[in-house]
Amino acid sequence: MYRRLVRLLAVLCTSFAVAGSALADQVQVAVAANFTAPMQAIASAFEQDTGHQVLASYGATGQFYAQISHGAPFEVLLCADDSTPAKLEQEGQSVQGSRFTYAIGTLVLWSPKQGFVDDQGAVLERGEFKHLAIANPKAAPYGLAATQTLDKLGLSDTLKGTIVEGQNITQALQFVSTGNAELGFVALSQVYKDGQITSGSAWVVPEAMHQPIRQDALILKKGADNPAAKALVEYLKGPKAAEIIKAYGYKR
């Protein structure tokens, strides 16, 4: 009798596990490189809370647009701007009404060296460096914001010869982190956690120096019938995601 009961419980547990896995889905997500760390944290919480699995790719928004236009299997897109999602929406490549702003980014001039970058960005005028890293302004909104900042400061021509471009904001950060550039314009989220710069020295670029970095997300056509895609978008709007996003220096 006891053995039968144990076997019955085992069968029931297996049935529940199979049912649970059947209800869970995977979602293919393209994520702007600047949002890598917060997205990894959000994906972990999302998977734990819903059972759905996030399969994320990280890169430049412009590159993702090209890939999506050529049939890439992404179901949700988290951009580093608001113009690319609007364009995809106009082209009929997304689910109408799914676009929303999930974060507003902040540009920062950063160096791993303590005291190298002052809190006013005057280091740019002094020119005591050989290389300044930025992301490709044609593909990455943070790169565009960097060039707009240099224009605003009247330093574009002066510093033109020092600029090294990364394909995306992650590569720009790598240039600085590895010493291939003494400093660079990166996303605040890459060097910030829980209210402070994690290392080195930085100048948080005032918002008035460049166009707002409004980061929009949307469900793409390929994710229209995927419950996990819809669930992820709703999760991004919720309190747990908001807390993580704020911890990395973004605004909502």
Write down the residue that tokens 């995927």 correspond to: 226
- Please give the pLDDT value at position 23: 56
Please state the pTM of the whole predicted model.
0.80
Quick: pLDDT tens for 29-47: 999 999 999 999 999 999 9
Name all domains of the chain by residue range, CATH numbers in brackets: 2-104+213-247 (3.40.190.10), 107-204 (3.40.190.10)
Mean pLDDT of all residues belonging to the chain:
91
pLDDT band per the 50, 70, 90 thresholds, residue 118? very high
Pair 140, 61: CB distance under 8 Å: yes
- Please give the pLDDT value at position 24: 79
- One-letter amino acid for residue 146 of the chain: A
Instruction: Looking at 72-209, list the stretches that DSSP marks H as alpha helix, in order from N- to C-terminal side.
Output: 83-90, 123-126, 141-153, 156-159, 169-177
pLDDT at position 165 over 80: yes
- One-letter amino acid for residue 186 of the chain: V
CA distance 229 to 235: 10
pLDDT at position 98 over 50: yes
Quick: pLDDT tens for 3-13: 554 354 444 44
- Please give the pLDDT value at position 250: 94
Pair 38, 224: CB distance under 8 Å: no
CA distance 154 to 52: 49
- Mean pLDDT confidence for 197-208: 96
CA distance 244 to 127: 36
Quick: pLDDT tens for 119-139: 999 999 999 999 999 999 998
Listed residue (77, 126, 81) closest to 107, CA to CA? 81
Name, in order, each residue with C-beta under 8 angstroms of 191's C-beta and a sequence gap of 6 or more: 108, 110, 173, 197, 198, 199, 200, 202
- Half-sphere exposure in the Cβ direction for 60 (13 Å, CA): 21
**Residue 54, both tokens:** 């996030």
- Please give the pLDDT value at position 22: 40
pLDDT at position 19 over 90: no
**Residue 74, both tokens:** 């992404």
- Mean pLDDT confidence for 82-104: 97
